[in-house]
Amino acid sequence: MENKIFNLPFIRGISAVVPKKRVNLAELDFDKESLINIMKLSGIHEVRVSAENETVSDYCIRAAKYLFEELNFDKSQIDGIVFSTPSHDYIQPGSGYVVHRYFNLSNDCMVVDLLKTCNGWVFGLFQAYLMIQSGYCKNVLLCAGDTPSKFVNPKDKSMMMVSGDAGSATIISAGEKNYKTAFTFYNDGKGINSLWIPAGGTRTRIKVGVTDVEETDEQGNVHSAENLYMNGLDVMCFAMNSSKYTVNKVLKLMDLSKEDIDLFLFHQANKFMVNTLGKRLRLPPEKVPFQIDGYGNSGNATIPLTLCAENQQKTLNVDKVVCCAFGAGFDSSAAVLTLKDTYFCNLHEFNF
Amino acid sequence: MSNLEKYNAAFEETLEISSDMLPNLQYQQIKTWDSVGHMELISALEDAFDIEFETDDIIDFSSYEKGKEIIKKYGVEV
């Protein structure tokens, strides 16, 4: 591998699954004027919400099953799992082992669990690419998704109006086509408190009457230490800075210009953010899709979900794609991918 | 339109307020100038003056008056 450019792995197929349950955001219990303004800016009018007994591993496993069936792929060939989510089934072990158990995979199959939010699919790809380029794996199953609905306070308008649940599955394989791929990264630990769930880990254990006490912030959003909290302005500013850095850097690494790229896929936080990032990078709008109306911001599932949803509507031109995502930490990464031989499942919805 | 008129228009249109509310107006002082309104205001000012704010300035842009100081850094006198 030269100059940080991968040439062995390729993305064989991508699948995404959303819950059947839809929530019409116009019917939420907030003042109507606020609802209309937020929906106009976010571009999201409806989201999907998981049932009480469903977790992100349920959706990712279902997505993997569709992928195996539609590709006619023998699941026993999977020798690596990467599971990327901030909402693992258990405190330990990670949900990669839930997948391993479900599909009864080989004891030689490597399992990597990542605690990553919206950057998790891009970073998970990097992890899978490392496993394959090193020669340790030939076929890696990347599961990426989130169920933010389980952590959002119903009285937090800013989060309720964008969050949705979903899971995805991607198979990355060792190939012979010499597809070049590179990744770049940008991290800032100073952003910890701007997008987090403070309680439930070992720093602040759950305590009734303490961690469940609700507070109202300056924007009128209600949350406790057990809820997902986001400082929207901080996140927006980080996304703008980091995206410009990682996208320009990865293009330079690959000796490409923006004009060489067919599609720029940003983490689909909301329409305003995607449009702003496209504007900041001076990208033609037709190359910057926004697809999550009807689904919501499902964290690290939004990029695979967008690819599968776009595929249902038109033929994708995906010879060269830049993917760029950003999430809690703060963290951000970008990648140049070739997807022209990638199979995209149609987006599926599912309930157990 | 003068620079001041363009500056004021960005505030009035994105925050849906009248011109008499502008002097000393602070971020989060009114319902429409929340974080969502703030990003819309920034975007409107960028479009009006063909500039691109640094993110530190976006965060520091805490009032109508402070904004006038910040925008000077981008060659815009209001």
C-alpha–C-alpha distance, residues B20 and A127, integer Å: 56
Stated pTM of the model: 0.94
B32, B36, B58 ranked by CB distance to A237: nearest: B58
Instruction: Give the pLDDT band (50/70/90) at residue A318.
Output: confident
Give pLDDT tens digits for A49-94.
999 999 999 999 999 999 999 999 999 999 999 999 999 999 999 9
Lowest-pLDDT range, A1-10, A112-121, B1-10, B13-22?
A1-10
**Percentage above 90 pLDDT, chain A:** 88
C-alpha A249, offset from chain centre: 21
pLDDT of residue A317: 66
Beta-strand relationship, A215-216 and A222-223: antiparallel
A234 to chain B: nearest residue by CA? B59
C-alpha–C-alpha distance, residues A152 and A229, integer Å: 8
Give pLDDT tens digits for B43-73.
999 999 999 999 999 999 999 999 999 999 9
Give pLDDT tens digits for B22-37.
999 999 999 889 888 9
Q: What are the φ and ψ backbone dihedral angles of A229, each rounded to 5 degrees?
A: -120, 140
pLDDT, mean of residues A258-275: 94
Lowest-pLDDT range, A71-80, A102-111, A213-222?
A213-222
Segments of A165-220 assigned E as strands: 166-174, 182-187, 195-196, 215-216
Return the H-helix or E-strand segment holding A114: strand A110-114
Instruction: Give the pLDDT band (50/70/90) at residue A237.
Output: very high
C-alpha–C-alpha distance, residues A283 and A276, integer Å: 10
pLDDT of residue A119: 97
pLDDT of residue A351: 78
**Percentage above 90 pLDDT, chain B:** 87
> pLDDT at residue A281 above 90?
yes
A238, A241, A276 ranked by CB distance to B43: nearest: A276
* B61 near A CB under 8 A: no
pLDDT of residue A115: 97
Residue closest to A130 by CA, chosen among A4, A13, A251, A14 = A4
C-alpha–C-alpha distance, residues A15 and B42, integer Å: 37
CA angle A180, A314, A56 (to 5 degrees): 70
pLDDT of residue A37: 85
Alpha carbons within 13 angstroms on the beta-carbon side of residue B74 total: 19
* A236 near B CB under 8 A: yes
CA–CA min distance A205, chain B (Å): 30
Residues 10-39 of A with CB under 8 A from B: 34, 37-38
A41: which residues sit within 8 A by CB, 6+ positions away?
Answer: A270, A271, A272, B36, B40
**Percentage above 70 pLDDT, chain A:** 98
A351: which residues sit within 8 A by CB, 6+ positions away?
Answer: A19, A20, A21, A51, A54
Higher pLDDT, A341 or A210: A210
Query: Two tokens at A99?
Result: 């997948």
A104: which residues sit within 8 A by CB, 6+ positions away?
Answer: none
* A176 near B CB under 8 A: no
pLDDT of residue A314: 54
Beta-strand relationship, A139-146 and A80-84: parallel
N-terminal to C-terminal alpha carbon distance within chain B: 12
Instruction: Give the pLDDT band (50/70/90) at residue A34.
Output: confident
Instruction: Give the pLDDT band (50/70/90) at residue A125.
Output: very high
On whether the CB atoms of residues A182 and A254 are closer than 8 A, the answer is: yes
Give pLDDT tens digits for A169-195.
999 999 987 889 999 999 999 999 999
On whether the CB atoms of residues A95 and A89 are closer than 8 A, the answer is: yes
C-alpha A98, offset from chain centre: 19
Instruction: Give the pLDDT band (50/70/90) at residue A315.
Output: low
Whole-number average pLDDT of chain A: 94
pLDDT of residue A130: 98
pLDDT of residue A161: 94
Map residue A79 onto helix, strand or coil: coil
CA–CA min distance B31, chain A (Å): 8
pLDDT, mean of residues A25-42: 90
